[in-house]
Amino acid sequence: MPTITVDGRQVRVEEGRTILQALDDAGLLMDGVDVPHYCWHPGLAVDGSCRLCQVEVEGLGGLQIACNTPVADGMVVHTTSDRVRDARAGVMELLLVNHPLDCPICDQAGECKLQDYAFEYGAAGARTREPRRALQKRVPLGPTIVLDQERCILCRRCVRFCREVTGTGELGIANRGDRSVIETFPGVELDNPYSMNVADICPVGALTTRDFRFKVRVWFLEERPGICTGCARGCNVWLGVAHGEVQRYTARRNDRVNGSWICDAGRLSYREIAAPDRLRTPLVRGEDGVLRSAELDVALDAATRRLRELIDAKGPGMLAALASAHLTNEDLAALRRLLDRLGVDAAGLTLVMGEGDDLLVHPEKGANAAGARAAGFGDPAPILERLRGGGLEGLIVLGHDLLHPTLLGSPDALDDLATLIVLDTHRSELERVADVVIPGRHLAEKGGTLVNAEGVVQEVAAAVEPPFPATAQAEVLDRLAEALAPRLAQAGGDG
């Protein structure tokens, strides 16, 4: 392995990498060694167009662009010399010649690399007197993205993303020189399942998502690490939190899981957290058959009573549990504890299957299907069979994936159950037949551990509080288990 010296620090690098790649591999880029760059991106091929990453390499004349200069054993690189700083200042001056400087109304302001480096290397004033180029400020490129041509610095990241990553190739640079603009071919929109990543990688405010545009000033956002629950990929995301609510997801780089990308559907799934159909209160069915909101204690009492009666009358063999693939390992472990105490064996995983692709989207629609299988929640078919045939008296359901057409479809088959206890995050048709419904927390509100389709175990912390009282599923289940314990201890004595 060749070794290079960067600002006096020895870095062991892999053959064939460029200086910038080697720094990134070593985890030093912008985290120990600052080499500002616009066009280079770890998930894209080298472009070498922005010239900001220039560094001094001993023995080579002029400055070299770090993104495209291959490492060689013994290479000595300087990234902080006056020459380098002057070069960066020069590049910044040129990039700013035509920039509209409309930061006050720009969504990127506050997380903009042009602002950051102008602040660090830029001059206080412009030396040009020519008018700045006037271009289109809001070009809809497709259903998800809006382009501001004036702010674009032509780094081609968006163009390369569409060519190299999605292979859809919707974007290009039309014209030449100071007339260059990002364009789509007339009649062809930027429209692919990953389109919104271009807003993440655009270093300036040229590309914005229709979803987040003008929603919140980014300096009000606190970025907290999270995981998308959309499918078994378990992509890493940043949750942008402001005013106690998740305002957006952006991709959080994890080369073992999702690289630097997330899919559009996953990106927009933050909306599920504060969705109007969130289950906001426990519900208990009264003697008169009407489901009414209740305190959690009351709901837990009702659930305990019903489960106890059922087991006393029919034994644990007539009870089953179905868990959704969205639950965390912690939730599943708690469910397992409860089932063990009740002596219930029948436990299945309600996993919805859908479309997948060869980039990220996985056909298993649930972030913890692998974790659930590892915890012993498997094929739900035998349980579904018994439900359809009236061979069960009671059911504990976590999540409503069970209602997916590929599983049970409608809740009708649950009509005959003596006891149906539901723990869920969102409202569903299950309310029609449930005896007790208890609201749980979204992953973003409770954190936990998930195992993705490749077996990568990922843990995240809670990022927001639910805007209504909701208790993490694991805690609800543990409280149920505890309430049922005396009866079970007694049952144990009997046995």
Least spacing, CB of residue 151 vs other proteins, in Å: 20
Among 29, 39, 146, 202, binds ligand FES (CB under 6 A): 39
Q: Which is nearer to ligand FES, 88 or 341 (CB)?
A: 88
Strand partners, 278: 426
175 binds, among ligand FES, ligand SF4, other proteins, none (CB under 5 to 8 A by kind): other proteins
Q: Could you say which residues in the range 330-389 bind ligand FES, by CB under 6 A? A: none
Q: Which is nearer to ligand SF4, 233 or 479 (CB)?
A: 233
Binning the chain into helix, strand and coil, the percentages to the nearest 5 are: 30, 20, 50
Nearest CA to 460 out of 246, 218, 196 is that of 246
Q: Which structure tokens are listed for 122?
A: 């830029």
Residue 157 found at the interface with ligand SF4 (CB under 6 A): yes
Residue 38 found at the interface with ligand FES (CB under 6 A): yes
Contact call for residues 309 and 270 (beta carbons, < 8 A): no
Residue 225, classified by CB atoms within 10 Å of its CB into exposed (0-12), middle (13-18) or buried (19+), is middle
Least spacing, CB of residue 266 vs ligand SF4, in Å: 2
Spatial distance between the Cα atoms of 125 and 16, rounded to a whole number of angstroms: 41
Q: Which is nearer to other proteins, 125 or 167 (CB)?
A: 167
**Cα 196 from chain centre:** 13
Amino acid letter for position 45: A
40 binds, among ligand SF4, other proteins, ligand FES, none (CB under 5 to 8 A by kind): ligand FES
Q: Which is nearer to other proteins, 110 or 169 (CB)?
A: 169
Spatial distance between the Cα atoms of 33 and 251, rounded to a whole number of angstroms: 23
Which residues would be at the binding site for other proteins (CB under 8 A)?
A: 163, 168-176, 183-186, 188
65 binds, among ligand SF4, other proteins, ligand FES, none (CB under 5 to 8 A by kind): ligand FES
Q: Which structure tokens are listed for 165?
A: 């990553």
Q: Which is nearer to ligand FES, 113 or 132 (CB)?
A: 113
Site string for ligand SF4, 175-204 (x = CB under 6 A): -------x-------------------xxx
Least spacing, CB of residue 363 vs other proteins, in Å: 28
Least spacing, CB of residue 171 vs other proteins, in Å: 6
Least spacing, CB of residue 61 vs ligand FES, in Å: 18
Nearest CA to 152 out of 129, 167, 133 is that of 133
Ramachandran angles phi, psi of 438, nearest 5°: -125, 125
Spatial distance between the Cα atoms of 360 and 383, rounded to a whole number of angstroms: 31
Three-state DSSP class for residue 477: helix
Least spacing, CB of residue 158 vs ligand FES, in Å: 14
Three-state DSSP class for residue 160: helix
Cα 237-324-435 angle, rounded to 5 deg: 130
Spatial distance between the Cα atoms of 300 and 148, rounded to a whole number of angstroms: 54
224 binds, among ligand SF4, ligand FES, other proteins, none (CB under 5 to 8 A by kind): none
360 binds, among ligand FES, other proteins, ligand SF4, none (CB under 5 to 8 A by kind): ligand SF4
Three-state DSSP class for residue 6: strand
199 binds, among ligand FES, other proteins, ligand SF4, none (CB under 5 to 8 A by kind): none
Spatial distance between the Cα atoms of 311 and 232, rounded to a whole number of angstroms: 35
Least spacing, CB of residue 234 vs ligand SF4, in Å: 5
Q: Could you say which residues in the range 334-363 bind ligand SF4, by CB under 6 A? A: 360-362
Pairing mode, if any, of strands 419-424 and 436-439?
parallel
Q: Please, where are the H alpha helices in 174-289?
A: 197-201, 264-268
Nearest CA to 330 out of 226, 484, 459, 468 is that of 459
Site string for ligand FES, 43-62 (x = CB under 6 A): -----xxxxxx---------
Spatial distance between the Cα atoms of 477 and 474, rounded to a whole number of angstroms: 5
Spatial distance between the Cα atoms of 481 and 314, rounded to a whole number of angstroms: 19
Residue 70 found at the interface with ligand FES (CB under 6 A): no
Q: Which is nearer to other proteins, 168 or 254 (CB)?
A: 168
Angstrom distances, CA of residue 344 to CA of 76, 305, 324, 453: 67, 16, 18, 28
Site string for ligand SF4, 286-325 (x = CB under 6 A): ----------------------------------------
DSSP at 196:
T
Site string for ligand SF4, 72-111 (x = CB under 6 A): ----------------------------------------
Least spacing, CB of residue 160 vs other proteins, in Å: 12
Least spacing, CB of residue 304 vs ligand SF4, in Å: 36
Least spacing, CB of residue 338 vs ligand SF4, in Å: 28
Place of tokens 């972030």: 367
b vs e for 366-382, b when ≥16 Cβ sit within 10 Å of the residue's Cβ?
bbbbbbbbebebeebee
Among 52, 75, 207, 436, binds ligand SF4 (CB under 6 A): 207
Strand partners, 236: 227
Binding site for ligand SF4 (CB under 6 A): 152-158, 182, 202-204, 206-207, 228, 230-231, 233-235, 258, 262-263, 265-266, 360-362
Residues that bind ligand FES (CB under 6 A): 37-40, 48-53, 65, 67
